[in-house]
């Protein structure tokens, strides 16, 4: 008796809005024999050299034509290749669902389970304003505007002043500090900003990631010495 194994297909849900995701939002879990070599055709799309199963992505809701052919290599006279059609029929895929089906020993495609899939929730990034209140989008827009202003400045001293004005008026993340540092030309300016911004950073446990913005190892060591002298989660603001 042939042993069936399960290969699970994963759907890459569309990121282009509800109209697009409604079209291709289901997936199929096929169980095929693990001791065979197959050619599978789904809605005219041919998959060759399938061994044991097949991953199929982005299926529309509705009826899909499925043809499963087992290939015998090097058998028969003169090692000629042989083929045998094991299944030629259809499978119904409901809207936003995962369908589990297996090829039975009598060569039928049997649906064993259907699960509803949840619509993925696309979350907008959450930031904090200068009073610690959560908001969506506004804080990030201010960060981008500040970063662009710094890029347009020709000198690091002006970039550092703009960055300090931004940092002292709101809570920032380590990743944001690192991005602002990368707009600067010299490590001494980057070190100055990193030291200034640390007390205003809401994820101080991630702060060592700003080290990737430095050019020289000596700057990394200088900031590490500074961090060792700071109180954990310090909220003392510089004036």
How confident is the model over 30-76, as pLDDT tens digits?
A: 878 777 788 888 888 888 777 766 767 678 888 989 998 888 866 54
Is residue 6 very low, low, confident or very high in pLDDT (cuts 50, 70, 90)? very low
Do 110 and 131 share a domain, yes or no?
no
Q: What gap in Å lies between CA 175 and CA 169, rounded to an integer?
A: 17
Look at residue 233 and tell me if it is in a domain. no
Do 137 and 102 share a domain, yes or no?
no
Do 88 and 26 share a domain, yes or no?
yes
Overall number of domains in the chain: 2
pLDDT at position 54, please? Answer: 72
For residue 40, give its domain range.
4-116
Do 143 and 102 share a domain, yes or no?
no
**Range from 20-24, 63-67, 144-148 carrying the lowest mean pLDDT:** 20-24
Average the pLDDT over 163-167 and give the result.
92
Would the pLDDT of 1 be above 50?
no
Look at residue 121 and tell me if it is in a domain. no
Do 13 and 112 share a domain, yes or no?
yes
HSE-up of 57 (CA within 13 Å, CB side)? 5
CA separation (Å) from 4 to 32, 64, 128?
6, 22, 53
Is residue 164 very low, low, confident or very high in pLDDT (cuts 50, 70, 90)? very high
Residue 173 Cα to chain centre, angstroms: 21
The domain boundary residue, chosen from 116, 144, 176: 116
Do 71 and 145 share a domain, yes or no?
no
Is residue 119 very low, low, confident or very high in pLDDT (cuts 50, 70, 90)? low
Q: What is the pLDDT of residues 71-105, one digit of tens each?
A: 886 654 555 567 888 899 999 988 888 888 888 88
pLDDT at position 28, please? Answer: 83
Do 181 and 204 share a domain, yes or no?
yes
Is residue 138 very low, low, confident or very high in pLDDT (cuts 50, 70, 90)? low
Supply the mean pLDDT for the chain: 76
> Which residue's entry shows tokens 């002292």?
168
Kindly report the pTM of this predicted structure.
0.42
Look at residue 236 and tell me if it is in a domain. no
> Which residue's entry shows tokens 């446990």?
205
Would the pLDDT of 126 be above 60?
no
Q: What gap in Å lies between CA 34 and CA 98, rounded to an integer?
A: 22
Do 112 and 133 share a domain, yes or no?
no
Is residue 193 very low, low, confident or very high in pLDDT (cuts 50, 70, 90)? very high
The domain boundary residue, chosen from 86, 116, 146: 116
Residue 66 Cα to chain centre, angstroms: 31
pLDDT at position 73, please? Answer: 67
The domain boundary residue, chosen from 116, 134, 154: 116
Look at residue 237 and tell me if it is in a domain. no
Instruction: Please give the structure tokens belonging to residue 147.
Output: 């970063």
């Amino acid at each position: 008796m042939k042993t069936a194994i399960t290969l699970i297909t994963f759907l890459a849900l569309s990121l282009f809005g509800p109209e697009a995701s409604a079209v291709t939002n289901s997936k199929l879990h096929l169980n095929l024999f693990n001791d065979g070599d197959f050619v599978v055709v789904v809605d005219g799309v041919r998959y060759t050299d399938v061994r044991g199963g097949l991953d199929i992505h982005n299926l529309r809701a509705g009826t899909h034509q499925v043809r499963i052919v087992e290939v015998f290599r090097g058998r028969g006279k003169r090692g000629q290749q042989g083929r045998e059609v094991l299944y030629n029929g259809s499978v119904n895929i409901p809207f936003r669902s995962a369908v589990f089906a297996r090829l039975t020993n009598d060569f039928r495609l049997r649906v064993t389970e259907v699960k509803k899939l949840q619509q993925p929730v696309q979350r907008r990034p959450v930031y904090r304003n200068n009073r610690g209140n959560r908001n969506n989008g506004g804080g990030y827009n201010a960060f981008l505007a500040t970063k662009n202003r710094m890029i347009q400045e020709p000198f690091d001293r002006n970039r550092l002043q703009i960055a300090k004005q931004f940092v002292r008026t709101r809570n920032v993340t380590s990743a944001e500090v690192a991005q602002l540092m990368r707009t600067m030309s010299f490590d001494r300016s980057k070190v100055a900003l990193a030291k200034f911004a640390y007390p205003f950073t809401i994820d101080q446990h991630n702060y060592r990631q700003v080290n990737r913005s430095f050019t020289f190892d000596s700057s990394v060591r200088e900031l590490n010495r500074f961090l060792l002298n700071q109180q954990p989660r310090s909220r003392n603001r510089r004036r």
